[in-house]
Structure formats: structure tokens, C-alpha cells
Chain A
Amino acid sequence: MSTFDFLVLYWPRLLSGTGITIAQFLLAAVLGVAVSLCMGLLKLSHNPVLRGAAVTYIEVFRGTSLVVQLYWIFFVLPLFGLSIEKFTAGYVAVGLNIGAYGAELVRGGILSVPKGQWEAALAINMSPAKRMRRIILPQALVNMLPPWGNLMIELLKGTALVSLISVADLMFEARQINASTYLSAQTFGVALIIYYILSRFMVTPFMRWLERHMARKLGKA
């Protein structure tokens, strides 16, 4: 079978797989950003209990493998009465994992805001929450966006692992098609190209645009 015939026959399944991959990516990204912010701020907290919780979270999720976390969430949590559907388990595991890496970026970004900004906000009598929201975080965001671009690529690649718990993403469809046709070069080759297009022509340009857009908003470009 030529590659063209192969595509004609299997494009609907590859397309639906790509759709699931994109959905997993977006949901995991939202969760990952939320977790990063939360844990990054907690790690800077003066309360030792909160700080300890954040440090533990970050070390556990960065010290173990995403595959282990995924299996633990999907196979072990139900034993504690917390049954999660596989689609949810997939993006939750990927999001929690990326959140631990992102938390360090958030922390670094916040620490990179010059001290004068903190003092100025204090001088005009802003509450700590308002100071964080209106003065510190926007500047921290601009500083940390470049490494976030790489992290988003890692996130997209991480979503391929949800196929291990049978979420029908692109990776899963490719394995299924390969198992029934043995056309491995075509199947996995097309899947590789789709992932490449997603990361190089969608995720990366979007992150670059976001970097420029945020920098302009702060009057830095």
C-alpha cells in the first residue's frame, strides 16, 4: 500500500487522535499553569508548613517519572475510592507533572522582579495580594515566558503517554493502526510528522507571539 492510499484509508482515525491529543494538551496546560502558579507562590511563602508542602509536591513530581504518576493516578487512586475516568486521569497526570516544573519557573520569575518594584508597591499602600496581582506577577510573567515555551513542548510530548492508559489520542491510534496493518513506517512516520507540525508550527509560534505581546504590553519592546 502506498503512503497515499494509507492516508486515504486512515486519515479519519489519525485526525480524531490528533483532536484528542490537542484536547489533552489544552486541558493539561490549563491545569499545569494553575498548579505552577499555586505551587510557585506557596514555595515563596513565609509559612514553613505551606512552603514545605510546595517543596514536597515539586520534589515528588519532578523526582518520579510521568509514567509512574500516570499509572499511580489511574490504577492506585481508585483503591482509595477516587475513581477517575481515563481521559481525566490522562490530562490530570500530565498537568500535575508539568505544574511541578512550572512552579520553579514561576518562583524564578517572581524572584527576578527588581526589589524596587516591591518597595514601590508597598509605598503606595497596596495590599500584598494586590501587589502580587498588579505589580509583581505581570513583570514575572514576561521574564519567565521564554522557558515556558520549552515546557509547553514537553507538555505536548507528555500527552503521548496517556495512550498507555488507553486514551484514544494520536499515539494510541497510531499503535492501533500499526497493530492491524503492520505498516509501521507509514503509521509512526505520519504520527511523528503530526506531532512535529503541532509543536513547531503551532505551540512554538504561539508562545513566541505571547512573549512579544506581553513584552509590548509592558512597554518593553
Chain B
Amino acid sequence: MFDWKWDFTWEVLPRLIHATGNTLIAALAGYAIAVVLGLGLALAQRTPYRPVTLIVREFVEFIRSTPLILQIFFVFYVGPQFGIRLSPWASGMIAIGLHYSCYLSEVYRGGIESVAKGQWEAATALNMTTTQKYRRVIIPQAIPPALAGMGNYLVGIFKDTPMLSVIGVAELIHAANAIGSENYRYLEPYTLVGIIFLAVSLPAAGLIRLFESYVRRKLGL
């Protein structure tokens, strides 16, 4: 390609690889929050208390239909207005974790709804409490069909981490912006970032598919 400078490429690559580490940490930490919180949101939508169900349902819809980047700004700037100062990392993780927990709650919901009615009845017949039913009968069967969706959102969260750069989280795009403005060269950093994203997300998608079929085989589905 014309004007591509290899020596510059080798010079900036270590910095970008270091930033890739931060991107991966951000994605995994955000995902960990989303996996736990998402299950909470999914279960909250199944309580017999109508007001709780309705409020949680509308909250999930609200988060899902507004842009993540705006939510990141909201969490980061609204705290200080009321005297709560959050670091860029903390507010970024809260925003991205919350955003994806709403998506994951829908995935869990689909999984829970796919469990056959007879399983509920059998659990009731065994005199299980509601907690026991969910923990020992329903959730273990709801997770395998949800795995594909959960995996897609892991890759999705990874691809959304560049939005954290707007509040100063030192991830890939943040590093590429810095390199670009220091050297007045944008071709190499942005292209490398694109290649790094492909190099992570394509194998990740493949691995997730393998893992899913492994779990299905293990459970005899």
C-alpha cells in the first residue's frame, strides 16, 4: 500500500498491543458484571409482583433502545454533579456492564422460557422451594440454549469497548488516537486497530461456537 511506513508500524505496535490488554480487561470485566446482573434482571421480570415486573421490563427496554455512548457519558458526568466521583474505568464498567446486562437478561429469559413446563411441575411435585427450583432444575437447563446468544454478546461487548475512549479509558482506540495526534499519522494506527479487532473477534467467534457444541454434546442435547 502506498505511504505505509513499516518502521513506524513496528514502533507503535507494542503500544497498541499493550492497549489491547486493556481492551480485553475492559470487555471481560464488563461482561462479568453483565452476566450476573443480567440474570438478576431476567429473574426480576418473573416475580409475581406486577409493579416490579413492569418497571424492570421498561427499564430493560429503555437501556436497550438508547445509545451506549450516551449512557457512558451519563454515568461519568452525572455522578460528580451529586458529589460522587467515579474514575473513567469504574464508570465505563458500570455503563457497559449495565447496558449488556439488559441484552443478556433477554437471552436468559429466552432460555428460561424454553424449559419445558413439566420440569416446573416435577420440581413442584418434589416440594422444592422457588430458589431450589431455579438453582437446581430450571437455570441448569436454561443456560445451554442461551449459550450462543451469550457468546455473541461477549464478542459484542469487545467491539463496543472503543466507546470507553471518550471518557479517557486507555483502550485501543484511545491509544491509536494518541499515536495519531503525536505523529500526525493515522493510517497505520487505525489500520492496525482494525486488524487487531479482526484478529481477536474472528477466532473468538469460532471458539464460542466450538464451546457451545461441546456443552451441548456433554449434556446430551
Contact = CB atoms under 8 A, between A and B. Distances in A.
B162 A65 contact: yes
Contacts of B193: 68
Contact of A63 (B161, B186, B190, B197): B197
B129 interface: no
Contacts of B197: 63-65, 68
A67 B163 contact: yes
B77 A171 contact: no
20 contacts: A59-B198, A64-B197, A65-B161, A65-B173, A72-B194, A75-B180, A160-B69, A160-B70, A163-B69, A164-B69, A171-B70, A182-B81, A184-B74, A184-B77, A184-B81, A185-B78, A192-B71, A192-B74, A196-B65, A199-B66
A71 interface: yes
Interface string A55-96: 000011001111111011001100110000000000000000
Given A75-B180, A184-B77, A68 B66 contact: no
B166 interface: yes
Contacts of A113: none
Interface residues of B, number: 40
B67 A64 contact: no
A63 B71 contact: no
A72 B190 contact: yes
Interface of B: 2-3, 61-62, 64-71, 73-74, 77-78, 80-82, 159-163, 165-166, 173, 176, 180, 186-187, 190-191, 193-194, 197-198, 201-202, 205
A65 B160 contact: yes
Contacts of A183: 81
B73 A76 contact: no
A103 to B, nearest CB: 16
Given A161-B163, A195-B70, A64 B81 contact: no
A65 B23 CA distance: 12
User: Top 9 A-B pairs ranked by shortest CB distance?
Assistant: A160-B67, A184-B77, A67-B162, A199-B65, A64-B197, A188-B74, A157-B67, A75-B186, A65-B159
